[in-house]
Each structure stands twice: as structure tokens, then as C-alpha cells.
């Protein structure tokens, strides 16, 4: 039985999905292209859903719980990425954060 997405699983998974594009953008680089950055985002969604499910369900964590968490995180993550993070320019700014040159300037 798949847990309903409208319980607190859906609420917390939605929050994780909303914040995930900004957090993943710190690992991504514009020069890597969309394929590599998409793979990084996909891996982050899988890892986030496993961590989220393990914290929420503990020893009762099942395949159905993981599927529901992954689905919610991916949908919210892609939705907010395309509707907010990317148009606002925040993703590009975050992808450039650690790119400082050594030696001062």
C-alpha cells in the first residue's frame, strides 16, 4: 500500500523538493552542461528520498514509502526549479559561488 501524498510525508517531502534545487546548485557547475547537472540532481533526489524515508519511518521504511517520497521530491524539485529557481537567476548565481580564483582577486 502506497502512503498518501497528502499526509505529513507529502508536506515534508514537498519542502525538501522545494529547497533541493538550490542546495544541489552549489554542487553543479554551468560549464558541465545540462546532462551532467541533471544527473547530479537525479542522484540528489534519490539520496534525499532515502534519507527522508529512513528518518521518517525508521525500521518500517518500505519500498512504497521510498517511492512516495521520491515522487514528491522529484515533482516539487522539478516544478520549483522551472517555475522559480531558474527564472529568478538564483541557480546560476549558486552554481558560481565557490568559483573564486586563488591568489587574491
Give just the sign of the alpha carbon dihedral 60, 62, 65, 66: positive
Return the pLDDT at 44. Answer: 95
Cell (9 digits) for 30: 554551468
- Total-model pTM: 0.78
Return the pLDDT at 36. Answer: 92
Q: Residue 82: which of 21, 33, 31 has the closest Cα?
A: 21
Q: In a 10 Å sphere around its CB, with 0-12 CB exposed, 13-18 middle and 19+ buried, how is residue 5 labelled?
A: middle
Q: Which residues of the chain are modeled with pLDDT < 50?
A: none
Return the pLDDT at 7. Answer: 57
Please tell me what DSSP assigns to residue 85.
Answer: I
Cell (9 digits) for 18: 522545494
Amino acid at each position: 500500500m502506497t502512503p498518501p501524498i497528502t499526509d505529513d510525508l507529502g508536506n515534508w517531502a514537498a519542502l525538501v523538493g522545494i529547497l533541493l534545487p538550490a542546495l544541489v546548485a552549489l554542487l553543479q557547475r554551468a560549464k558541465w552542461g545540462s546532462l551532467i547537472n541533471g544527473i547530479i540532481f537525479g542522484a540528489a533526489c534519490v539520496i534525499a528520498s532515502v534519507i527522508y524515508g529512513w528518518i521518517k519511518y525508521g525500521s518500517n521504511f518500505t519500498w512504497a514509502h521510498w517511492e512516495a517520497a521520491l515522487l514528491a521530491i522529484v515533482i516539487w524539485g522539478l516544478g520549483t526549479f522551472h517555475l522559480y529557481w531558474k527564472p529568478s537567476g538564483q541557480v546560476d548565481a549558486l552554481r558560481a559561488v565557490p568559483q573564486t580564483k586563488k591568489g587574491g582577486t
